[in-house]
């Protein structure tokens, strides 16, 4: 009981033992999250990972099978969406097409029988914050994608709630606009200080927006941590492979007396962040944490292809029959077949158990 | 051909020649049947043609006679009553049924199948079944009288004042399912996230239907309106089978008037004039619609 | 995770399966469904009763002694004004009308649709627009000139003439159906075939026609039902010996000679409705797709 009152002042949103099944299909398996006031949380995962499902459960748009949901210390598990103190922004914007922007913002408020001047005040505020004042009287059909998205955010804003839910709000926009609106959402969060839960499949959005990322797979949270932590210390092989592009390189080998044995090579593990025991292991090393020098010595690989991206380039190598990617800001051109000798920044590498796939 | 080939460019007419040849049936149908035949009928509606069509112009004579004919006036009156009842009732009932079926219910397929099967039947079949059910000696009236209410009277098919409503009952039975299916398709086309948004906004379902969904379905309504109206103007076999136009001439409709004048009364000129009036009615509905639909599409 | 407290509501929101709302929905739908089924039921029970039983009882009561005699009479010996060999003549006429009409109208319309979708030529869209507008012209406007045309061609009153009429008047809707279907197929497919040197007919028969099987099925359902149910064209364009089933049914029921045999009439009515009903129940969703595709244009 004590715990609950304490939690209520700090925790904005709590999910406990959340399960969801459709018949025999288990979509969410025991999801637990505690989200602090003002945190920006991103639910990240591929399609079918259950990320949008969690959001719909929080919103009350799906009836959960088991578990509890608290918002602002209040148990809202059985509450209607409108009573949960949430606002939601949808992928397709879901604006009411026959109403003006103002009508869209006012529809829910009018229905809640708010006084007229209060409705006007809230709409003005939202319009000012989102800079949509000029087109308040236009219909959604006459707006661009980015403007529509702002109106959709406005509809959540006027509800004057503490928790905002975003369901892939930027995936219908083109890449340039997406990058712009991403920054705007970040600014909005800083300005408003609300708790935000944001669903996306885009890891760049996740990395740039989130205070913490919950990475999901098959309805199970794999890791729930800051972007930095997820990037640096992935808890398992799946997380390691999901985050980062090009993906992390994996080398199969074994640990023996503080060294990692890969084929005939012995890579010292001094400086590794952890205490791995001897045995079978997989070494994960990111393309950007590998350096290379021309030559044939030590761990050496042959260049297969070079992708030049201007500021940096990615080398696709063949390392003893295995593919290996390397990112470098050095713009030297390496013709196919060039031999490079590699060295790893072991302090930023990860080791995984091949059986449990967990980080060592 | 040889000449044009020599100049390096095929003769225009022969470009795409196979496609043009293949389209000949369509071109003939469009230009000869739809345009040509209609023009022919309109032209001959200004003539004195009786047993055989002949170009003996009488100006608007046929139309004057038409609008002075009781049978035609009753036909028009019936068409108006029938049309209004059909439109209002089939739209209201069809939309309500579509909303009910849209509630994620069990056995949706069974209900839909039952509500739509009459649409698969011929108007003749529909007319004859309802003629039987409305039969005063054996049908509804006799059953209710048999239950003790001796003075109960419901005999639309033999009462000239209400006979057209007897036809409406049958037509509704046949056509409402169709309207419902169109509306249901429209409802299913609405983005699920609209419903979610309105739930988060706390708007009750009926209000969402009224203020959000119905306005969004406007194109479906318009299309359905056009199709149903075009069907109403053509109504013929239903009346022939169910009432034969009777009692007397109480349930005559324009399409039947045309047929009777052309093929039974050897009064072609009247038939042409009446069918031209039908064409005019349809045109009044179709032209603004086509203008909106296609004019709007070009802009979009 | 020791601090999980299951205080207050947890798990699935308790919601009774039989809420007031559901009771209303299901009872309204059930009542409407019963209303819709009544005519079918009445048809069937009436057709299975003997005449004396019909005269005594009410139309809803099930037959005391079911008899198939009315069906047999309706099929082989019911009288129209002209002859007394029942509906069978009409049935076979309808088959002989429907089958070729369906084949020809679909063949021609699919070629039209293909030409319109993939081989646009100058004016093709104009002809198509005229065709579409033509779909709304009341048939009454065009039937008399059509009679003259068929007479000139020497096929007035014959089955051939009626097949031609059905092919012509079925063209707008079917052409629209196929044109829209072909435009949804990837254009690359068509381009690839052209680059390979396949011609107009080659592409049609070897690529487009095999790909349009789903649309062909929908079109067959649509056309077979429409043509089977036709009454007006049957009356206008054929001689009595070639009358389709619907016309013959109407003549059997609505010619008042002697005693009205209600049971035979209803048996005849069911028999006539049987073919479209079978198509409808077997094809199910495809039927719905057909009418929806035909209706919601675009």
The answer to whether residue A29 scores a pLDDT higher than 60 is: yes
Identity of the residue in B200, B211, B216 whose CB atom sits nearest the CB atom of A82 = B200
Q: Where are the alpha helices (DSSP H) in chain A?
A: 2-10, 51-59, 101-111, 116-130, 145-157, 175-192, 203-209, 227-232, 237-242
Measured CA to CA, the distance from residue C279 to residue C224 in angstroms comes to 8
Domain coordinates of chain B in residue numbers?
Answer: 65-299
Mean pLDDT for all residues in chain A: 90
B41/C108 CB distance under 8 A: no
Model confidence, pTM: 0.86
Q: What DSSP designation does A68 have?
A: E
**Domains of chain C with CATH codes:** 20-67 (no CATH), 89-295 (1.10.3720.10)
B114 contacts on C by Cβ (under 8 Å): 33, 36-37
A3/C3 CB distance under 8 A: yes
Chain C closest CA to A216's CA: distance in Å? 20
Instruction: Give the CA-trace dihedral at A4, A9, A11, A15, to 10 degrees.
Output: 40
Predicted ipTM of the assembly: 0.89
C4/A4 CB distance under 8 A: no
Q: What is the pLDDT of residue B136?
A: 87
Measured CA to CA, the distance from residue C150 to residue C165 in angstroms comes to 9
B22 contacts on C by Cβ (under 8 Å): 111-112, 114-115, 200
Nearest to A154 by CA among A129, A183, A171, A137: A129
Residues of chain C with pLDDT under 50: 1-4, 296-298
A16/C8 CB distance under 8 A: no
B275/C171 CB distance under 8 A: no
Give the architecture (CATH level 2) of B65-299. Orthogonal Bundle (1.10)
Q: What DSSP designation does B119 have?
A: G
Tokens of A36: 């602090």
C1 contacts on A by Cβ (under 8 Å): 32
Measured CA to CA, the distance from residue A84 to residue A221 in angstroms comes to 24
Percent of chain A surpassing pLDDT 70? 98
Q: What is the pLDDT of residue B3?
A: 44
SS3 labels along chain C:
CCCCCCCCCCCCCCCCCCCHHHHHHHHHHHHHHHHHHHHHHHHHHHHCCCHHHHHHCCCCCCCCCCCCHHHHHHHHCCCCCCCCCCCHHHHHHHHHHHHHHHHHHHHHHHHHHHHHHHCCCCCHHHHHHHHHHHCCCCHHHHHHHHHHHHHHHCCCECHHHHHHHHHHHHHHHHHHHHHHHHHHCCHHHHHHHHHCCCCHHHHHHHHHHHHCHHHHHHHHHHHHHHHHHCCHHHHHHECHHHCCHHHHHHHHHHCCCCCCCHHHHHHHHHHHHHHHHHHHHHHCHHHHHHHHHHHCCC
Q: Return per-residue pLDDT of chain B as tens, 300 residues.
A: 444 444 455 566 677 788 888 889 999 999 999 999 999 999 999 999 888 888 888 889 899 999 999 999 999 999 999 999 999 999 999 999 999 999 888 898 899 999 999 999 999 999 999 999 998 888 888 888 888 888 888 888 888 899 999 999 999 999 999 999 999 989 988 999 999 999 999 999 899 999 999 999 988 898 888 888 888 988 999 999 999 887 889 999 999 999 999 999 989 999 999 999 999 988 888 888 778 777 655 443
Q: What is the pLDDT of residue A4?
A: 39
Q: Who's near C263: CB < 8 A, 6+ residues apart? A: C46, C47, C48, C49, C50, C51, C54, C70
The answer to whether residue A324 scores a pLDDT higher than 90 is: yes
Residue B158 burial (CB < 10 Å; 0-12/13-18/19+)? middle
pLDDT classification of A101: cutoffs 50, 70, 90: very high
Q: What is the pLDDT of residue B263?
A: 92
Residues of C with CB under 8 A from a CB of A: 1, 3-15
A77/C8 CB distance under 8 A: yes
A1 contacts on C by Cβ (under 8 Å): 5
A81 contacts on B by Cβ (under 8 Å): 199-200, 202
Q: What is the pLDDT of residue A2?
A: 36
Q: What is the pLDDT of residue A221?
A: 94
Measured CA to CA, the distance from residue C131 to residue C134 in angstroms comes to 5
**Chosen from C13, C80, C111, C136 to mutate, greatest number of chain B CBs within 10 A:** C136
Residue indicated by tokens 């043509």? C227
Strands A66-71 and A195-200: unpaired
| Chains in contact with chain A (at least 3 beta-carbon pairs closer than 8 A) | B, C
C14/A78 CB distance under 8 A: yes
Q: What DSSP designation does A247 have?
A: P
Q: What is the pLDDT of residue C1?
A: 40
Between residues A223 and B10, the one the model is more confident about: A223
Helices C88-118 and C245-254, axial angle in degrees (round to 10): 140
Pair B186, B217: CB distance under 8 Å: yes
Chain B closest CA to C288's CA: distance in Å? 8
A282: enclosing H helix or E strand: strand A279-285
A66/C11 CB distance under 8 A: yes
CB pairs under 8 A between A and B: 68
Nearest to C267 by CA among C71, C122, C124: C71
Q: How many CA atoms lie within 13 A of B157 on its CB side?
A: 24
Tokens of C154: 């020497």
Q: What is the pLDDT of residue A288?
A: 92
């Amino acid at each position: 009981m004590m715990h609950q009152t304490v939690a209520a002042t700090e925790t904005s949103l709590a999910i406990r033992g959340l399960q969801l099944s459709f018949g025999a299909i288990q979509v969410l398996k025991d999801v637990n999250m505690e989200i602090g006031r003002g945190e920006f949380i991103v639910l990240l995962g591929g399609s079918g990972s259950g990320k949008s499902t969690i959001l719909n459960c929080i919103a009350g748009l799906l009836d959960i099978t088991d578990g509890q949901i608290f918002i602002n210390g209040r148990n809202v598990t059985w509450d209607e969406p409108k009573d949960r103190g949430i606002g939601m922004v949808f992928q397709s914007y879901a604006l009411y097409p026959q109403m003006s922007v103002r009508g869209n913002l006012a529809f829910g408020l009018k229905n809640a029988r708010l006084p007229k001047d209060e409705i006007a005040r809230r709409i003005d505020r939202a319009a000012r914050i989102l800079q949509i004042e000029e087109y308040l009287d236009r219909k959604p059909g006459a707006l661009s994608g980015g403007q529509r998205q702002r109106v959709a955010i406005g509809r959540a804003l006027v509800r004057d709630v503490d928790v905002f839910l975003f369901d892939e709000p930027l995936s219908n926009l083109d890449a340039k606009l997406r990058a712009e609106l991403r920054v705007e959402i970040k600014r909005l969060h800083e300005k408003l200080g609300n708790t935000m839960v944001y669903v996306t499949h885009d890891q760049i959005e996740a990395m740039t927006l989130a205070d913490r990322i919950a990475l999901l797979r098959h309805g199970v949270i794999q890791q729930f941590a800051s972007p930095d932590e997820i990037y640096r210390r992935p808890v398992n092989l799946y997380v390691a492979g999901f985050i980062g592009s090009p993906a992390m390189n994996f080398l199969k080998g074994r640990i023996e007396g503080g060294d990692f044995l890969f084929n005939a090579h012995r890579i010292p593990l001094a400086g590794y962040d952890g205490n791995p025991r001897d045995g079978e292991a997989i070494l994960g090393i990111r393309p950007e944490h590998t350096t290379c020098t021309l030559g044939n010595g030590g761990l050496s690989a042959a260049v297969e292809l070079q992708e030049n991206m201007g500021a940096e380039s990615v080398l696709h190598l063949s390392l003893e029959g295995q593919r290996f990617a390397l990112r470098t800001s050095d713009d030297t051109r390496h013709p196919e077949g060039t031999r490079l000798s590699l060295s790893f920044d072991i302090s930023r590498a990860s080791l995984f158990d091949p059986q449990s796939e967990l980080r060592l | 051909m040889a000449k044009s080939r020599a100049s390096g460019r095929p003769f225009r007419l022969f470009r795409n020649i196979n496609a043009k040849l293949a389209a000949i049936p369509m071109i003939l149908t469009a230009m000869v049947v739809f345009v040509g035949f209609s023009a022919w009928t309109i032209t001959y509606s200004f003539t004195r043609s009786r047993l055989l069509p002949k170009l003996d112009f009488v100006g608007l004579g046929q139309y004057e006679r038409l609008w002075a004919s009781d049978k035609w006036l009753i036909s028009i009156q019936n068409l108006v009553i029938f049309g209004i009842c059909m439109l209002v009732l089939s739209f209201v009932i069809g939309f309500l049924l579509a909303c009910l079926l849209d509630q994620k219910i069990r056995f949706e397929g069974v209900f839909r199948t039952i509500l739509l099967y009459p649409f698969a039947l011929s108007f003749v079949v529909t007319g004859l079944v309802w003629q039987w059910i409305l039969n005063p000696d054996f049908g509804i009236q006799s059953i209710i009288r048999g239950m003790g209410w001796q003075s109960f009277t419901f005999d639309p098919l033999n009462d000239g004042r209400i006979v057209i409503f007897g036809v409406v009952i049958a037509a509704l039975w046949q056509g409402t399912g169709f309207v419902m299916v169109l509306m249901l398709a429209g409802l299913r086309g609405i983005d699920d996230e609209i419903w979610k948004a309105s739930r988060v906004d706390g708007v009750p379902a009926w209000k969402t239907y009224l203020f959000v969904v119905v306005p969004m379905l406007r194109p479906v309504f318009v299309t359905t309106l056009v199709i149903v109206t075009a069907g109403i103007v053509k109504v013929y076999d239903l009346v022939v089978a169910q009432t034969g136009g009777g009692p007397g001439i109480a349930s005559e409709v324009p399409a039947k008037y045309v047929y009777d004048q052309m093929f039974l009364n050897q009064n072609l000129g009247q038939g042409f004039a009446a069918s031209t009036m039908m064409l005019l009615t349809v045109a009044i509905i179709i032209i603004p619609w086509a203008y909106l639909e296609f004019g709007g599409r070009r802009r979009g | 995770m020791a601090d999980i407290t299951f205080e207050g509501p947890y798990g699935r929101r308790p919601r009774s399966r039989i809420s007031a709302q559901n009771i209303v929905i299901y009872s309204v739908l059930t009542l409407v469904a019963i209303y819709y089924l009544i005519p079918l039921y009445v048809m069937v029970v009436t057709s299975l009763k003997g005449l004396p039983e019909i005269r005594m009882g009410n139309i809803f009561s099930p037959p005391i002694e079911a008899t198939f005699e009315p069906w047999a009479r309706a099929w082989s010996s019911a009288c129209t004004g002209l002859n007394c060999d029942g509906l069978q003549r009409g049935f076979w006429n309808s088959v002989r009308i429907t089958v070729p009409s369906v084949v020809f109208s679909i063949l021609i319309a699919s070629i039209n649709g293909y030409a319109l979708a993939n081989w646009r030529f100058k004016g093709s869209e104009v002809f198509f627009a005229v065709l579409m507008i033509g779909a709304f012209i009341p048939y009454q406007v065009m039937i008399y000139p059509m009679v003259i045309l068929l007479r000139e061609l020497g096929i007035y009153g014959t089955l051939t003439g009626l097949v031609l009429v059905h092919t012509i008047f079925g063209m707008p809707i079917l052409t629209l159906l196929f044109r829209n279907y072909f435009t949804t197929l990837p254009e690359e497919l068509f381009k690839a075939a052209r680059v390979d040197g396949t011609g107009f007919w080659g592409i049609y028969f070897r690529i487009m026609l095999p790909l349009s099987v789903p649309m062909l099925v929908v079109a067959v359902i649509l056309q077979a039902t429409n043509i089977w149910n036709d009454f007006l064209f049957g009356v206008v364009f054929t001689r009595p010996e070639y009358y389709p089933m619907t016309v013959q049914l109407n003549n059997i029921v609505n010619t008042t000679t002697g005693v009205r045999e209600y049971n035979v009439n209803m048996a005849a009515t069911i028999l006539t409705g049987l073919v479209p009903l079978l198509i409808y129940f077997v094809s199910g969703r495809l039927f719905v797709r057909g009418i929806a595709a035909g209706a919601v244009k675009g």
